[in-house]
Amino acid sequence: MERRQGEGARRGGPGAPGPRDTYNFSAGPATLPRPVALRVREELAAHAGDGASIIEISHKHPRFIGVLDTAVALYREVTGLPGDHHVLFVHGGARMQCAAVPLNLIGRSPTRTAGYVVTGLFAQQAQREGARYGTAAIVASSQDTGFDRIPEVGGRHCPPDAAFLHLTSNNTVYGTRWTDFPHDCPAPLVADATSDILSRRLDHGRFGIVYAGFQKNLGPAGTALVTVRDDLLGHALPETPRLLDYSVHAASKSLDNTPNTFAVFVLLLTLEWIRDQGGLAAVERTNLAKARLLYGELDRTAFYRPTAHPAHRSVTNIVFRLADESLTGEFLDRAREEGFLGLAGHRLVGGVRASVYNGMPEEGVRALAGFLREFARVRG
């Protein structure tokens, strides 16, 4: 099979780190937009002219405070975040928020009850963590169909005294996503948006809390961005650790302890990149086009079998199997040889997964589509 490279594989230019002959389709930590990666390198190398880069100064330094404030303001601008929602930066990534959400909100219910929609692995983990602090009722699940779709959820499914209804907006492992969120649930909606944050427009006004780990579309792993509506602050259980209390982070503007200053800096660069692309509407159009290209190739032949129901397919995590599963190992080995990295499916489900986040350039997707067609031609 002839080696293929995307149009941008050998594109350099001033300050470029050298030829690019691989494309990283890992589910996370994932590919940064190339211009963002270059700006990070320039900042750390240049030390901004004053002898210290952004990660070598105090988090209380006016220069970092400027970065933090600008990142928050630009996040508001890019997403249209309502003014009564706070933007918080907290440690521990999205997994930590599986505990922080119930600790902060479940006390709003007199029976300590919350609702969970279970659509995959990370939704299951959130529900199990919520059960530590009260009743974590499963209001809907797609487990009986192998998590291949998003279940129907309406107000009638939600416990009447629920403190919140938790859902996972995109299913990283099984490759499904929500396209229409519940409208008539009386409880505030909480979304784990880790794997599709900033990949599409989202009406934050529909949600009480949206949280996301940085490692897909925001920046380095280990930090989470949380947006929380003002009226949901101040309800934390007495046993809530200080650094899991959203009120503490809101009051201190995420500076109660030292935040991950590097992650916030990379987020700012990422937000500037999104703005320069034309905002989330333009980014969403690009992501839809990339997904259509791959799904079109997968649907063209019976050689490949996408696992998600067509009406519920993820745009950022494209999961499929080979009709002859004995060829999966060969497929993945050949893909690595051709420069396509991170395509192995999650260890729980196997198969193949192409994670196409914002940072994956269109030429990388075109190159992968060409590889899919050629492998099917040779081995089909």
pLDDT value, residue 284: 98
Burial profile 147-182: b = 16 or more Cβ within 10 angstroms, e = fewer? bbbbbebeeebbbeebbbbbbbbbbbbbbbbbeebb
pLDDT at 13: 34
CA separation for the pair 337, 276 (Å, rounded):
34
Look up the pTM and report it: 0.93
Cα–Cα distance between 162 and 108 in angstroms, integer?
8
Q: Where in the chain is the domain with CATH 3.90.1150.10?
A: 22-33+280-379
All CATH 3.40.640.10 domain ranges in the chain, comma separated: 46-276
Strand (E) or helix (H) holding 176: strand 176-177
Q: What is the pLDDT of residue 49?
A: 62
Pick the CATH number of 22-33+280-379 from 3.30.465.10, 3.90.1150.10, 3.40.50.360, 1.10.340.30: 3.90.1150.10
- The class of domain 46-276 in CATH terms is alpha beta
Closest CA to 192 of 306, 297, 102: 102
Sign of CA pseudo-dihedral 365, 371, 374, 376? negative
Predicted local distance difference test score (pLDDT) of residue 17: 36
Q: Could you check whether the bond before residue 182 is cis, i.e. omega within 30 degrees of 0? A: no
- The whole-number pLDDT of residue 368 equals 98
Query: Tens place of pLDDT for every residue, the chain, 380 residues?
Result: 544 433 333 333 333 333 447 999 999 999 999 999 999 988 888 765 667 888 899 999 999 999 999 999 999 999 999 999 999 999 999 999 999 999 999 999 999 999 999 999 999 999 999 999 999 999 999 999 999 999 999 877 889 999 999 999 999 999 999 999 998 889 999 999 999 999 999 999 999 999 999 999 999 999 999 999 999 999 999 999 999 999 999 999 999 999 999 999 999 999 999 999 999 999 999 999 999 999 999 999 999 999 999 999 999 999 999 999 999 999 999 999 999 999 999 999 999 999 999 999 999 999 999 999 999 999 98
C-alpha distances (whole Å) from 240 to each of 101, 149, 188, 328 are 10, 34, 20, 46
By CB atoms closer than 10 A (0-12, 13-18, 19+), residue 104 is buried
74 in Cβ contact with 271 (< 8 Å): yes
Q: What is the DSSP letter of 188?
A: P
Buried b (16+ CB within 10 A) or exposed e, 38-52: bbbeebeeeeeeeee
Q: How far is CA 108 from the centre of its chain?
A: 28
SS3 341: strand
